[in-house]
Structure 1
């Protein structure tokens, strides 16, 4: 079960902390005046459930709303002032003293064509490591079963294998056997590799580094995770705006991603999921605390080499707390996002006071971190924390040509929050995950597809002008290059694309 499914279910309390876009800005049912609305069962190795692996749209998207209550029962009393922050809070508006952004964002390597960007993401050391692992595993597998002699995979053949793997997603079939039986797509797989050879290479895929001293469950994906982090750090300098959230994926393990606002993934963190039996034994408060603790640790790991340069980080209420905000501000990093109303350390007025519709309360601590509560509608509150944006009213015109007034920190969060969601939506367009694979192979193949999507995102931003306008055409060009074994400089381009 994904940790994402652990999130607290809405209760029947009258008040709620709301992240739902429609609830933040409720739209009329009818537009006025004619205006047009994501295994193989792995043997236990003693790893802990908290075992981490170190490692613009025109319309406004929705967020899931969740209950404001941190308690198991809806009738739980409002916490007393003793649970709130003991530090001094004031009404004096201020922002945190964080340094200006000190980096020059952009590409560190020279690249222009789609193939250039593919080679930036899939560099020779990755192919060499994967081919070595495949050959070792294949030799061991066939020797143990005394079937036949293993024919070593070469880097050129692995490029063809990768091209076929990606092309299954392009033709929108989730059954690899159908890929060989039907003349679908512009590249016929039988012209490049037999189905038997493809299946054997897939079976021998191994994404683990050699770690003789310490082996854990997550070491099975250490090679591909470490490579992803290293290559992104080598290739591109991130922009000021960063987003952190949990990504959806077709495996028991879960991913935390660090992206920019456009969906480019700069860093990832893999962690073990939680058994459903364990979840059922937890209270709602315990589940929420587990999610928050994991999220807090993930934020610090993802940002450990991004601190002290003036980044602005946007996260939702599963991660945010006063404690984390103070840590980031002390490391010259801004934070903005939604906040659970009863999170430990919040100002007493935010926790206890009842508001009328349209009213808001904002409190600032000596570090310049502001916590705001705004009663947007009946029974729904928006609670925000920000070290960068205030709560002054700001008006925007919505898609119905109506003027909508909201606090500035709400507008800014809505503008920059969806980097991970954008990535998930884009990768799902041509996604393929082979069935009946071990969890670590699923994670590894998923990360390979993330690298591919990163190549496209970088190409769109820094590549040749004019660029290929569609992801589908980019896929055909680079898949053609892979199917040529890397011999074609620009890929195979077809007029039918």
Structure 2
């Protein structure tokens, strides 16, 4: 090869490096979802210059000295690999278009017209550049709506005609048998740990009930430390805790409370470092019982939600997780399925860490599939999740189980454009049975759904500033956004009910933090059951504060429980909606009256001198 040809070859090689480097640079910029048209035009112009130089070099060389590899190499160089590196299996043009063979015959390897700058989307059959957004004005086909077929009657799974006290609702989750198990294990652990110290005195179920009563009481009335509840100073003069239990006995139980059998703990500790080691062994008896009781005592309505819950702790334990944007940043993470209507915790499990199983598809996918059991729930449910869980693969697999889903989407997963859009702007696209809709509010809202239509004509009011004044204005909004805002907060509602009067306090053992959280779950779920049964009987339910106060009194046995409203609520109403027409004869005094009882359906007087309404119900004549 003469010097002129060598110079031309070096020039072409330099242009090839510049061409491929520019493609990589443009591909990096495309990851930020910039305008792909400008990227393609820049790449094509660079490519054209390279091909011109290459053709000129080939014209200078003889046909016998050059061979073409006409098959395109589908392999791509990883982004983090150096652009100047060569593959161990095939030469990469990122370093040189020409590679010298042992016989000094140059071989040209060409990889096709140009490298693809379009990134594929997991779970889709197309790339980001192929996403065709439709405007909100374009009509969308409404998908088939789910037919709700629950495995049980939605609502409390108790005899609704019977009257339940707060303690009876609580014992659905903390039964006498599970209390006896905790008492036996606490006695065994206390006797073992106090060997050589002060003798351990066995506790009874009555003692354990009193202990629970104080734990719930301390959630109602907060003091800086536990010992303040028994102080006799003018500031901390609280007579009730001393009536239930002495300070020494309460602290003794707190330091020895144990859920599992100490002998089983010792056997399990020997398995540390092996696959047979159970990290949740110390909470297993109560953990399994509470999960089963939650599912047995209530059946969810059609709308359900899944989200994370954090149990606060500062313990040095491998189960502890960190969540940056959560109010409780450090703690144990639980994945919870809750009813969207009332916030009932139907099922949950504790996150033990990343799974190494080959069948695992990621914690977001696995957690949903673990909690959504169509055999126990039934079919036709509508599941709402946030952007941590939403994925095409998950939603399609749920749809195969006849469970519909709706959730927010992270912008970088569907090629979201950051171009400015007017307030209320809607655009959407479909991929088979998946709808992706983007709505412009104060921020861009991206939703994926398997049962919604892109736009149904719904509007929402927002404050806008026009001519220096704020006015309320209607803006179009997708139905998926409205339903998501309405039904996603099931777990948040449950967390709020727990947070008002949480019984959790500092403890030296990690498993006792879970014990107190299980008490919180039991109390809140019992309160929700009380609410639901009261509504079915047309009664006014107790507040959570009054419910907990009644539960404390019943557990401690120190006084009568807070009275539960009567089973039937009797309300007066006008017979015809007018006090001057449609009168009937009173059931008691037989005089004319315009008033009747809604529940009994009989006419009764309700005037200062004839209170037949009160006399009729107090005498029990309606029964």
Assess same fold via TM > 0.5. yes
1:438 Cα shift? Answer: 1.8
1:297-323 CA distance string (max 9 Å, x none): 211111135555221111100111111
Distance 1:116 1:84, change over 3 A: closer
1:395 aligns with 459
Count of residues in correspondence between the two structures: 392
1:154-173 CA distance string (max 9 Å, x none): 11110000000110111122
Picking from 336, 359, 370, the partner of 1:257 is 336
Q: Distance in 2 between matches of 1:185 and 1:299?
A: 49
1:433 aligns with 504
Q: Distance in 2 between matches of 1:351 and 1:401?
A: 29
Picking from 369, 372, 377, the partner of 1:303 is 372
Distance 1:375 1:404, change over 3 A: closer
CA contact (8 A) 2:406 2:449 kept: yes
Picking from 354, 362, 385, the partner of 1:293 is 362
Picking from 337, 341, 349, the partner of 2:407 is 337
Picking from 450, 472, 481, the partner of 2:545 is 472
Distance 1:119 1:308, change over 3 A: closer
Q: Distance in 1 between matches of 2:239 and 2:155?
A: 34
CA contact (8 A) 2:228 2:236 kept: no
User: After the TM superposition, which of the residue ranges 313-322 and 122-131 deviates more from structure 2?
Assistant: 122-131
1:361 Cα shift? Answer: 2.7
- Residue ranges of structure 2 left out of the alignment (5+ in a row): 1-31, 35-78, 80-116, 135-139, 269-275, 314-319, 321-331, 355-360, 464-470, 565-623
1:76 aligns with none
CA contact (8 A) 2:156 2:532 kept: no
CA contact (8 A) 1:120 1:235 kept: yes
CA contact (8 A) 2:299 2:377 kept: no
CA contact (8 A) 1:242 1:312 kept: yes
1:184-203 CA distance string (max 9 Å, x none): 69861111211111111111
2:592 aligns with none
User: After the TM superposition, which of the residue ranges 120-129 and 301-310 deviates more from structure 2?
Assistant: 301-310
Picking from 365, 369, 373, the partner of 2:438 is 373
Q: Distance in 1 between matches of 2:257 and 2:285?
A: 12
Q: Does 1:126 align with 2:158?
A: no
CA contact (8 A) 2:345 2:525 kept: yes
Q: Does 1:106 align with 2:162?
A: no
1:14 Cα shift? Answer: 11
CA contact (8 A) 2:124 2:431 kept: no
1:109 Cα shift? Answer: 1.9
CA contact (8 A) 1:341 1:383 kept: yes
Q: Does 1:173 align with 2:253?
A: no
Q: Distance in 2 between matches of 1:475 and 1:185?
A: 21
- Residue ranges of structure 1 left out of the alignment (5+ in a row): 1-12, 16-70, 72-78, 275-291
Q: Does 1:219 align with 2:281?
A: yes
Q: Secondary structure at the match of 2:120?
A: helix
CA contact (8 A) 1:372 1:384 kept: yes
Q: Distance in 2 between matches of 1:429 and 1:477?
A: 17
User: After the TM superposition, which of the residue ranges 448-457 and 205-214 deviates more from structure 2?
Assistant: 205-214
Distance 1:432 1:362, change over 3 A: same
Q: Distance in 1 between matches of 2:562 and 2:378?
A: 45
1:112-142 CA distance string (max 9 Å, x none): 3323312223211221111111111111112
1:19 aligns with none
Q: Distance in 2 between matches of 1:258 and 1:381?
A: 27
1:60 aligns with none
1:247 Cα shift? Answer: 1.3
Distance 1:454 1:142, change over 3 A: same
Q: Secondary structure at the match of 2:306?
A: strand
Distance 1:465 1:98, change over 3 A: closer
Q: Distance in 1 between matches of 2:141 and 2:431?
A: 10
Q: Distance in 1 between matches of 2:345 and 2:147?
A: 24
CA RMSD of aligned residues (A): 3.3
1:224 Cα shift? Answer: 2.1
Distance 1:415 1:437, change over 3 A: same
List aligned pairs for 1:98-497, cutoff 5 A.
Answer: 98-102=146-150, 103-110=152-159, 111-143=163-195, 146-181=196-231, 188-208=240-260, 210=264, 214-251=276-313, 252=320, 253-261=332-340, 262-272=342-352, 293-304=362-373, 306=376, 308-343=378-413, 346=414, 350-351=415-416, 354=419, 356-357=421-422, 358-366=424-432, 368-377=433-442, 380-392=443-455, 393-397=457-461, 402-463=473-534, 466-484=539-557, 491=561
Q: Distance in 2 between matches of 1:353 and 1:14?
A: 8
Q: Secondary structure at the match of 2:143?
A: coil
Distance 1:84 1:236, change over 3 A: closer
Q: Distance in 1 between matches of 2:549 and 2:236?
A: 13
Q: Secondary structure at the match of 1:188?
A: helix
1:184-242 CA distance string (max 9 Å, x none): 69861111211111111111122336586744222222222211111112211111111
Q: Secondary structure at the match of 2:125?
A: coil
Higher relative contact order (CA 8 A, sep 6+): 1
CA contact (8 A) 1:363 1:371 kept: yes
CA contact (8 A) 2:33 2:417 kept: no
Q: Distance in 2 between matches of 1:223 and 1:125?
A: 11
CA contact (8 A) 2:382 2:405 kept: yes
CA contact (8 A) 1:218 1:271 kept: no
Q: Does 1:95 align with 2:174?
A: no
Q: Distance in 2 between matches of 1:96 and 1:184?
A: 63
1:476 Cα shift? Answer: 0.9
Q: Distance in 2 between matches of 1:375 and 1:188?
A: 56
